[in-house]
Structure 1
Amino acid sequence: MNDLQLLREMRSDIGSAPPATLARGRNRLMSKISSDYQPEATTVTHAPASVRPIRFRRRALIASAAALVVGGIVVADVVRPSGPGATAEAAEVLNNAAAATIRTSDPMVGPGQYLKIDTTAVYAAGVALGDPGTGGRSVEWLDKSSDHLYVPANHAAEWIWKREARIPTTFFSEEAKAAATKYQQSQASDPIRTGELLRAPGGNFYGEPRLLFAGLPLEEGVKNLPRDPQALLNTIRQRGKQGRPEAETLENIAAALRTGVVPADLRAALYKAAALIPGVTVVDNEANLDGRVGTAIGIEHPNRETRTDIIIDPTNGLLIGERLVTLKAGKTFPAGTATAWTSVKTSVVGSAP
């Protein structure tokens, strides 16, 4: 299979470039190569400083360069970032997810029905043992909780939020397990530890509007955010602190996606915006999150100690969830531990608690 066929497989809805255009491109390239060619072997001078220059024979150079011309014409119709962005593999996954999102219809919520958003989440938790100033230390474990949010067809009507108890579930030592059990018993009256059922018009629980990300009200963001990927990415960056790491930009995109109420056009734009973030890569093609398997797209934090991932179902473009992965072993968590993760499922139901 040649390069053009491979690229067509990547996006089957992209038509062929006109033969005349291909011919002109090839002719210009061949003329340039012929004029610049010297009898000695050619050196690729744009290689990174850390990579030794690679020398090719003239025939190999012409063949690969011609393939790049063909590929460049077709790829331009898929995505052409204005600057450095995600790796080619990650950009392909994200752009395909955006296309699948548009093809997948949003759930239709009729009168008297609700969009039910089931969220399972894991968080790191811990307590201090003794006074840190006198040699005390802390122990940590992972808590797990489940939430069920019922969103009415009319978003201004009453939302219902059933929060299950937050329970310690994963321990890396017997000492942590004992500390977690004691702490759980001491928090018997805390709604976070016991669960609660909340109701609020417009989803304004605790008297605050629900947020899309970075302090942006949900309804305002869904209505007003740009659908152009670069403009959307610029907006997300501007709402954060100046100089913050790009990992936080991906975290904000994940925060918007996990609300479960972002319409398809904005979800697609968020995926395409993520494809423009430098440092985003494919980290796992078979990522299992809460029993669901998808493709994990991630970016390391500047300290190289943690990585933020979003996991996408490639068949429909839906977000499976997100996670924060420890890359270096710490006092409690081994390397590779997801110290925080969230999985999301949506469905339409006819009643609510």
Structure 2
Amino acid sequence: MDDLQLLREMRSDVGSAPPATLARGREKLMTRISQASASEDTRPKATVTPIRFRRRVLFASAAAALIAGAIVVADVVRPGAPGATAEAAEVLHNAAAASLHASDAVVGPGQYLKVETKELTGSGAQTTDGRQVNWQETTGGQVYIPANRDGEWVWNREPRVPLESSSDEAKALAAQMAARDSYRPAGQPSSVGIVRAPGGAFYGNEPAAIIGTPLRDAGNLPKDPRALLDLIYERTKGAGKTPDSEAFVTIADGLRTGAVPADVRAALYKAAALIPGVTLTDRQATIDGRTGTAIGIASPDGASRTDIIIDPATGTVIGEQSVLLKDYPGSPAGTVQGWTSVRTSIVDSAP
């Protein structure tokens, strides 16, 4: 996994520059990366520049964090508008109540909390003749969290597979990108395979409940929804497209870990109900074979929407999705651009 991809995963919801500018920037960055590693690795490289579009994930590299720190964004303040719509607020408060009622599954000694994710995402490559080829692909993984969370966590990262409907050229480019990943210089992380780390600090970074609070300290977060939301606004100030969309995405990221305690989940749901622009988008949203209620927030330009999908019976997040709100060539409004599903279970062993 290269630093550009990891940066995309951490902050893929940052506003976009014009495509031509992005293409030039990507080309320069990949050229520098290739030059830097040329002395360490003389094996053949794929002749494409990879471009992947993904949301933030639970873990990211320290190198990507340094790149992200170099981004300068405009200072913003939290608006004082009313919160979510009445329908959305009702669903979120019901989910909070269901979370507390269901409580957390108990992970016994020697057991693991298995958090399994599957994902449909966009990817692409810039060929040597300057053409851009895009496609959709699936990937997934499993994180095994031990009963003693200070113990060794295990992360199994699965390969990316282009959809069968992808063009032959797209499939060939995806295969080149996968081959290049397998020839990384020593010390550079791969995007596929087993990774192990004490306390879940994969690539040197602890998993977080929200930005600035690791999962191990999630119980110390405010349980008062307004106090929790104010803390999230403070820690995400200047990030994302708007304060409200960034707060919503931060809450979704925490819920997607599958490892936040029930009382914190309840507080996160109630905090989301206070965010202006959050609406009920679909009472029968289906993702990876499961159906739940979708709550979302639109992008400032009205082009897309980010949803979290909640199982109303248990109050758990079963996934999230990105939906187009405007027509684009080949993709009419209502098209699901990508999704991530989340399943949790208790297992007796890890890879």
TM-score relative to the length of structure 2: 0.70
Is 1:229 aligned to 2:229, yes or no?
no
- Tell me by how many angstroms 1:306 deviates: 1.2
SS at match of 2:163: strand
User: Structure 1 vs Structure 2: percent identity of aligned residues?
Assistant: 52
Match of 1:142 among 133, 136, 145: 136
Offset of residue 262 of structure 1? 0.4
CA contact (8 A) 1:329 1:335 kept: yes
Question: Is 1:211 aligned to residue 208 of structure 2?
Answer: yes
Alignment correspondent of 2:99 = 101
Secondary structure of 1:270's counterpart equals helix
- 1:336 is displaced (CA, Å) by 2.6
Q: Which has the larger radius of gyration?
A: 1
- Cα distance, 1:180 vs structure 2: 3.4
| Gapped regions of structure 1 (runs ≥ 5) | 1-81
In the aligned structure 1, how far is the partner of 2:334 from the partner of 2:128?
A: 29
Q: Secondary structure at the match of 1:268?
A: helix
Q: Distance in 2 between matches of 1:181 and 1:153?
A: 38
Among residues 70, 85, 88, which one is paired with 1:87 in the alignment? 85
Q: 1:336 to 1:181 in 2, by over 3 A?
A: farther
Cα deviation, 1:311-332, whole Å, max 9, x if unaligned, reads: 0001111101111222223356
RMSD: 2.3
* Counterpart amino acid of residue 148 in structure 1: Q
- Matched to 2:193, the amino acid is E
Q: 1:196-224 CA deviation, whole Å, 9 max, x = no partner? A: 1111111111122122333542223x032
Q: CA deviation at 1:241?
A: 2.5
The answer to which structure, 1 or 2, has the higher relative contact order (CA under 8 A, 6+ apart) is 2
1:253 aligns with 2:251: yes
Instruction: Please tell me whether the aligned partners of residues 184 and 193 of structure 1 are also in contact (alpha carbons under 8 angstroms).
Output: no
CA distance in 2, matches of 1:193, 1:334: 35
Where does the alignment leave 5 or more consecutive residues of structure 2 unmatched?
Answer: 1-79
In the alignment, the residues of structure 2 paired with residue 330 and residue 351 of structure 1 have an alpha-carbon distance, to the nearest angstrom, of 46
CA shift for structure 1 position 334: 4.2
Are residues 270 and 194 of structure 1, via their aligned partners in 2, closer, same or farther at CA, if it must alter by over 3 Å?
closer
Superposition deviation, residue 292 in structure 1: 0.5
SS of 1:347 mapped into structure 2: strand
Letter of the 1:102 counterpart: L
Distance between the aligned counterparts of 1:179 and 1:160, measured in 2? 30
Once residues 123 and 105 of structure 1 are traced to their aligned partners in structure 2, the CA distance between those partners, rounded to angstroms, is 32
Q: What code does the residue aligned with 2:154 have?
A: I
- 3-state SS, counterpart of residue 267 of structure 1: helix
SS in 2 for 1:247: helix
Distance 1:211 1:176 in 2: 35
Q: How does 1:72-83 map to 2 (within 5 A)?
A: none
Q: TM-score, normalised by structure 1?
A: 0.70
Which residue identity does 2:305 align to in structure 1?
R
Deviation at 1:112, TM superposition (A): 0.9
